[in-house]
Amino acid sequence: MSNLRTDYIEKLLKTIEIQRMILNNSRFFDKKLKEKSSNFILDGSRDFSLENIILEMLAKENLTLTQLKSTCKMLLTFWNEGIGVDVELFWIELKKHNIDFERNDELKFALNKNRFRRVDQGFGARRDWNLMKDMQSLKDRFSVSEIEQIGKIIEADENKRVEILKKCLLKKQIPKSQYLKFGECWAYLSYCNLFEKYFDQEQKDELSDIHRNFK
């Protein structure tokens, strides 16, 4: 048991090192999001993040193997729930270092349900898909037809969100039942830089006014 525990701690420490490397070298993960995220710490940051808490726990406490597994689950929350190039790179690095932590693959959920579980997962998929679809890590997990289907799910998600905003613009109001959806759609188009694709500045300003004047 002692050897199992020691091995698990070493895997956790290496995972934290990989996490730091991926995020600090990221071309895709927004810097502001990095700074705000409670799960990550950047080089030079003094934020008391979850990562720091875990490091202190490993250094000071004699955690059982069960407790270590729970700690690992906390650490992997983003990497299990996120979709994007950085997420793929993280799991690729874990595999390279023979770290066999279980992955909860949200792309598989999307395939099974024909939708994304959360709007932020749609963000990541839409933004990074042109790069992700050619990554070997995806080709190893999905067939050609499955990768094509994920692309269609992303396209349908985008179209659905654009249609909601267009309806609000046409009616010049947000239905009460759609208020939260409106916010999600606005965030989606903003994050993925899609507003200019579908709306001119006047329309965007009008949508902003509609949102601001919602009662």
Which sequence spans correspond to the domains of the chain? 2-104, 110-212
Entry pTM: 0.84
**Pairwise CA distance, residues 198 & 151, whole Å:** 19
Distances (CA, A) of 119 to 61, 152, 154, 195: 37, 16, 11, 17
| Cα 180 → chain centroid | 20
- Of 38, 11, 25, nearest to 89 by C-alpha is 25
At 192 the pLDDT is 94
Q: What would the pLDDT profile of 57-79 be if each residue is shown by its tens digit?
A: 777 778 888 988 998 998 899 89
Distances (CA, A) of 93 to 18, 30, 60, 195: 7, 20, 27, 35
At 64 the pLDDT is 87
Q: What would the pLDDT profile of 100-137 be if each residue is shown by its tens digit?
A: 999 999 999 999 999 999 999 999 999 999 999 999 99
**Pairwise CA distance, residues 93 & 19, whole Å:** 9
Residues of the chain with pLDDT under 70: 1-2, 28-49
